[in-house]
Structure formats: structure tokens, C-alpha cells
Amino acid sequence: MLGWFDGRIAAELRLWDAIDQHRLAPFTYYGIHDGLDLREIPWRRGRGYDVAGLSNLVTANDVWARQVIAQLLARIDDPATMRALGFCVGVEHARYMARVFNEAGIAATAVWGDSPDDERRDALRALAERRINVVFSVDLFNEGIDVPAVDTLLLLRPTDSPTLFLQQLGRGLRRSHGKEACTVLDFVGRHRAEFRLDRRFQALLGGTRRELIQQVERGFPFLPAGCHMELDRIAADIVLTHLRQALPSRRPAKLEALRRLAQSGRVTMRAFLEESGLELADIYRDDGWSALCEAAGLAVRAAGPHEKDLRSACARLLHIDDPERIAAFRSFVELDAPPVLAVMDERSRRLLRMLVAAVTERALGKTTTLAQACTLLWQHPQVLAELRELLGELAGRVDHLHHRLVTHPDVPLQVHGRYTRIEILAAFGIGTAAKVHAWQTGVYQAREARADLLAFTLDKSSGNFSPTTRYRDYAISRELIHWESQSMTRATSDTGRRYQTHVAGGTSIMLFARLRSDDRAFWFLGPATYVKHESEMPMAVTWRLHHPLPGDLFASFAAAVA
């Protein structure tokens, strides 16, 4: 569909936003260990567990089904009033679960893809009218069901597909009169190493595997209002084990996985990530993609004069997350020769400088021109090849709707994108050489652009922050940011007055925030307007954002300073 709209998303509503805005119901999620051991079930690449093997396991006797009923009764006050969907392994499993539930006095039925349309409609109508309490299905109601009153979900089939997991969850999040929340019972067994338990949690919570581990260990503390998640002790151990051990995290294991892939003739970064289950960060935690290929004995292109420095610089591009920057960078590195600067507009030249300055930073002199830096980069064909693959992978990972910076048409920054200090200064056209000026403090006055660039770290509990520089910066709401100036700034100083009167003075305030000091990139929060301040040395300023924070960013920012 994106092709019909020039590849642009006009609007988005993320799950966290929808729950916070009361457009979707909150959920209460229980991850329950069910005692099943799925490690001997045959696994088919690209398809997952063998359906027949799974079905035989869960229908072998009534013990497992009665455990499902027991867990349900422990968490639902009155099963006779619930409206539940149960997602099953196959047709026989759905029929079996309906029989066991009916024998236990909980009215249930089963439908599947071959069920007549009127039979499916009757089942949903009976569920809505509470003539039955559970409908068990097989890949039928993952999407498109219109029963807002569904208030209970039974996830009875193992799925590591993030899309399928969110679709199933979404069947219970429609708002309905009298419905306070959706109860989700997710039954967790012991899985094969190929099964990716992390994917479902990553789809729901976002973040890296390290951050997911912290969420599980801490009991999922940062959720939208009204939501709750918990794993029982064994389920938590299973999830944590998979998060930590299921992937080839050590370098020898990565090399072996890459050699196996090479035997199939599909040696690309994307194929390797799909085959191994690794993340981009896992590749760049060592020496990067080119070095990994080289160490695995695969052919790479000839090395350039600064090969090691430029290869390592590729790891500093993993934060790139907006379509314009990715598309521009890809168009540059696809060229056989450096771009011709004379035919480029100012915005494109700045985009090129953002790329070249980041990749060639360690090889540049203070007076190296952009043209010279481009020539240097194009002397490294393997680096360009790696950039082409990396940018192609990043193009599929854009996860926010971005906003163009309309106040500065030549500045190629997108609101709610992530940028390093090098990229920020290059985007604002600071300096004339390829190498970007050093920016060590939290404030940079971009005089020619008539803008103050304020970059701050939210969580100052780690990193090199002295007690005198631990300014209190945080999100008050999705629209308001509390920010403290440098410690010597008085309200009556030139700087203090510039902050207070920036609108009348024709200057802009641009806010950039990162969660931790070890994050290289800052979220661009966009332009902001002065609201008020308190005290001085430092000034405690409240800024109003022109673009409200997305729900997930606001939740992360609130968590960082909690």
C-alpha cells in the first residue's frame, strides 16, 4: 500500500499511544509455564514447529487442557460472563479444547478456516451475546474480527511471529461498554533453540535484547496506564534463558553460522540476520560485517588506505532511522564515483556531509574539503558495499512517523529521528570543511542558522556527570520539557535573555535528548517555545514542543528519570 502514497505514512497511531489515548483497552498479561517440553517437536525452517507434532502433544490427554482451565478460573472472577478467544495449534486441537471446556461447564465452540461462513458468524454472535463464553479458532481470527466485547485471550499455540502475536493481542483490545481491560493468558513451554521468544516481547515493548532482559527481571515496570504484565517464575526463567543463550552470540558461533549460510550461496547481511536470528548490534559488537565475512573466509573487495577506521565507523550508523536520510545515503553509496557537488542543492550536500563526516571522521584533517573526503571514502569499495547492505537493512526498521523541519528547509533533520552530534552540526551547516567542529557541551549556538541546539541526557545515574552537571532534564508531559541551563547561566545574562525572548528575537530552540550517556545518538524532539523559567544558575526552563512526543518515547523518558 505504501507504493500508492509515494512510500510515505501520513499518520500513525502506535499501540502505547492508542492505549494512553483510551482508543484501545489496557491489558493484563500473564505468562504461565504450562509444563510442556517442545524441544523434541520437529522444526521446519521458515514454518516453525510441525503442526501435527504440536497437536499430538497438546491433545494427548486432558492434563494440559485442565491446567488451562485452572489458570483461567484463577484469574477470571466469573467465566460465565467472559467473552474469550482461544488461538489453537490446529483443527483437532480447537475441537479438543471446546470439548474439554464444555465438559468443565464453560460453554465453548470451535471454528476454523473450512467452517462455513454462517457457522463462523453464528459463533461470534453467540460469543457477543454470552450464549457461549469461548470460541477456539485456528489462524482465523488473528485479524479482522469485529467483536469489541472480547475481554479474554487464551494464547494456546506457540508463535514467535511478532506480527501474529500483536494481531492476536489486538483482538482483545477493542473498547466496549463495561470492559475495563483484556486478560491475556499466554502459555509458555520449554522451546527449541530456533524458537524466538524474544520477538513477541520486542514487538510489544521495543528495545534491544539487553533492555528486554532488564524489563523481564524488573517485572515490566514501564507500561501504559492500566496495563500489567507478569511471568511466573518458571516462565520468566525460560524467557530469560532464551534471551541470553538462544542465539550465536560468541564470535566463533557467528563465523560458523556465516560459513553455513555461504554454503547455500546466500551471503547477504539480511540473509545472515534472518538465518541466525541475530540483531544488527550483534554483528557490530565485534568488528562489523566486512570483518566477519573476511574472518569466515569469504571474498571481500580490496582494502583502501584507511580500511580499519572506515569499517569501524559503519557501527556508528546503526541509529539511522528516518526514510529521507536512508534514501539519500543509499543513493550516494550506489554511485561508482563520488557525487558531483556542483550539481547538488544545499539540503543534499548537507546530507552527503552527514554521511561522509561520520564515516571518515578519523581519517580527516581539519581542512579536508567535502570533495576530498568523498574521494577518500570512494577509495574503499568494501566499505561502500557494507554501507549498501547496512542501509538496506535499516530501511526496513523505521519505526516512527517523522516530521520535516519546516522552519529550516535546508536542514535535513526529521523530528523524532535520531542523530549524533556530528550529524546535527553537519545538518545545520556548521563549518566549511568536511570535518565537523567539536561539540562537547550541552548547548551549541548555531548563529548562522539562528538557532540554539540543546542536547541533554535524561538518565544521569551513570556516565561522567559530576554533581554540578547533573541537571534535571525530563519530560513533564508529551508537550512540555523541563530543562536546566548550564550552572552559570543567569536569567539576566545575554544567554538567559536569548532563551526567554527567542520568538521575538527570531531565533529557534531545537531540543535533542538521549536516554543514557553511552547512547551516541540523540532523539530530535524538534523546535520548542519558551513557556517559563524558575530560579537561575541554572535556569529551570519549561519548553513547549511543536510536535508532541510519541507515547513510547514519553514512556521511555519518564522511566529514565523515575
Domain boundaries, the chain: 15-245, 248-300, 303-402, 440-560
The predicted structure's pLDDT at residue 470: 43
Q: What pairing do the DSSP bridges indicate for beta strands 27-37 and 182-190?
A: parallel
Residue of higher predicted confidence among 175 and 202: 175
pLDDT for 142 beyond 70: no
pLDDT of residue 74: 94
Give SS3 for 229: strand
Q: Which of these CATH numbers, 1.10.150.20, 3.40.50.300, 3.40.30.10, 3.10.25.10, describes 15-245?
A: 3.40.50.300
For 133, how many CA atoms within 13 A lie in the half-sphere containing its CB?
17
Question: How many CA atoms within 13 Å lie on the side-chain side of 49?
Answer: 27
State residue 465's pLDDT score. 43
**Residue holding cell 501435527?**
52
Interval 370-383: pLDDT, tens: 999 999 999 999 99
Which of 164, 204, 122 minimizes the C-alpha distance to 555?
204
The predicted structure's pLDDT at residue 276: 77
| 428 within 8 A of 453, measured Cβ to Cβ | yes
The candidate with the shortest Cα–Cα distance to 425, out of 486, 361, 381, 373, is 361
Q: Positive or negative CA dihedral for 160, 162, 167, 173?
A: positive
Q: Residue holding cell 451475546?
A: 129
- Intrachain domains 15-245 and 440-560 with the same fold: no
User: Considering only CA atoms, which of 414, 520, 499 is closest in space to residue 457?
Assistant: 520
Cα→Cα distances 372→12, 364, 367, 379, 540, Å = 41, 9, 10, 11, 44
* Fold (topology level) of 440-560: PUA domain-like (2.30.280)
Average pLDDT of the residues of the chain: 89
Evaluate if residue 463 carries a pLDDT over 70.
no
C-alpha separations of 529 from 21, 283, 385, 480, 546 in Å: 24, 41, 43, 10, 8
Q: Shortest CA distance to 355 belongs to which of 320, 321, 379, 389?
A: 320
**Which of 279-288, 375-384, 468-477, 482-491 has the lowest average pLDDT?**
468-477
Give the per-residue pLDDT at 3: 61
| SS3 (DSSP) at 557 | helix
- Residue 17 predicted with pLDDT over 90: no
Residue with cell 564515516: 359
- For the cut 70, the answer to whether the pLDDT of residue 10 exceeds it is no
Helices (H), 277-380: 280-284, 289-295, 307-313, 323-333, 346-360, 370-377
The pLDDT value given to residue 270: 93
Give yes or no for residue 368 having a pLDDT over 80.
yes
Element (H, E) at 464: none
Which pLDDT does position 469 carry in this prediction? 43
Q: At residue 116, does pLDDT exceed 60?
A: yes
Q: How many CA atoms lie within 13 A of 158 on its CB side?
A: 29
pLDDT of residue 242: 82
40: which 3 cell numbers?
Answer: 523434541
Q: What is the reported pLDDT for 561? A: 62
In this predicted structure, what is the pLDDT of residue 201? 85
- Say what the pLDDT of residue 192 is: 87
Q: What is the pLDDT of residues 384-438, one digit of tens each?
A: 999 999 999 999 988 888 999 999 999 999 999 999 999 999 999 999 999 998 8
Across 58-65, average pLDDT: 89
The residues, ordered by sequence, that sit 6+ positions from 342 with a Cβ below 8 Å of its Cβ are none
Residue 557 has pLDDT above 90, yes or no: no
Can you give the pTM of this predicted structure? 0.69
Q: What is the pLDDT of residues 485-542, one digit of tens each?
A: 998 999 999 999 999 999 999 999 999 999 988 899 999 999 999 999 999 999 999 9
Say which residue, 469 or 523, is predicted with more confidence.
Answer: 523
C-alpha cell at 178: 463495561
**pLDDT score at 537:** 93
pLDDT at 6: 61
C-alpha cell, 411? 536542514
- Other Cβ atoms within 10 Å of 342 Cβ, number: 7
Facing residues of 32 across strands? 187
